[in-house]
Amino acid sequence: MLIFPAIDLYEGKAVRLYKGNYDEMTVYSTDPVSVARDFKAQGAEQMHTVDLEGARDGGTPNLGMIERIVAETGLFVECGGGMRDMASIDRAFSSGVGRVILGTAAVSDEALLADAVQKYGEKIAVGADLRDGKVAIKGWREDSGLTAEDFLRRIEALGVRTVICTDISRDGAMRGANAELYERLQREFGLELIASGGVSSLEDVARLRALGLYGAIIGKAYYTGDIELREAVEAAR
């Protein structure tokens, strides 16, 4: 299983939200590039980024920072937030991003998702952000009305292979990952699942690895020191 340490970007800073609430934001670093360098120093080979402003409002205001992270670390970077047309997807790949994650666009614009998958193949992933079993969109502020199962069935049929699945109720809450959710989805679908939300201990990492997941995202637990990234990378192997 791969470990993806995460940087959520807002106004060029590395921040974390609590359960997706923009009013409960903690700034952890004003220098995200140095954070990404530490990821690499601790053995990570890939990382996860979200442009929080883009996720909420559309657009990619933090793409320049993401481009710097790619250029200065050489890490494989997957990037989501605000990419809702082909031009912004193209710009992200031109900036050196290794994988683009579509969230809101994957729900609201199936034609764009299909075109992106046709053009970029497995370099396109989808973010399934779940609140009470339903997919949330637009920076987690709106309920799409789609269940996780219906949404994953739809995108799997379009050729999507990789899904970042976030349990919003656990995100930033340090309550442990929702292993039951991932076990159910892993059993039902042939997708490469990346678990996100609540991963807060090496026990969480071991549990998700035992489920055979493709990856797990570590966010707040890195910044609080509850997880030593180097140890998580080793535990996931």
The pLDDT tens digits for 209-227 are: 999 999 999 999 999 999 9
CA-CA distance, 12 to 71, in Å (whole number)?
16
The pLDDT tens digits for 11-47 are: 999 999 887 788 999 999 999 999 999 999 999 999 9
Per annotation, catalytic residue among 51, 129, 167, 204: 129
Q: Is 150 a known active-site residue?
A: no
Q: What pLDDT is stored for residue 94 in this prediction?
A: 97
Residues of the chain with pLDDT under 70: 138-142, 169-175
CA-CA distance, 137 to 129, in Å (whole number)?
7
What is the distance in angstroms between the CA of the first residue and the CA of the last residue of the chain?
A: 6
Q: What pLDDT is stored for residue 9 in this prediction?
A: 97
Residue span of the structural domain in which 33 resides = 2-236
Closest residue by Cα to residue 208 from 230, 174, 231, 176: 176
Q: What pLDDT is stored for residue 17 in this prediction?
A: 85
Q: What pLDDT is stored for residue 198 in this prediction?
A: 85
**For residue 33, what is the DSSP state?**
H
Q: Is 226 a known active-site residue?
A: no
Per annotation, catalytic residue among 8, 51, 167, 204: 8
Closest residue by Cα to residue 50 from 207, 193, 169, 172: 172
Burial annotation 164-181 (CB, 10 A radius, 16+ → b, else e): bbbbbebbbebeebbbeb
- Quick one: 78 exposed, middle or buried, by C-beta within 10 A (0-12, 13-18, 19+)? buried
Q: What pLDDT is stored for residue 79 in this prediction?
A: 97
Stated length of the chain: 237
Domain holding 60: CATH number?
A: 3.20.20.70
Q: What pLDDT is stored for residue 143 in this prediction?
A: 72
The answer to whether residues 159 and 115 touch, using CB atoms and an 8 Å cutoff, is: no
Which amino acid is residue 209, in one-letter code?
A: R
**Number of domains present in the structure of the chain:** 1
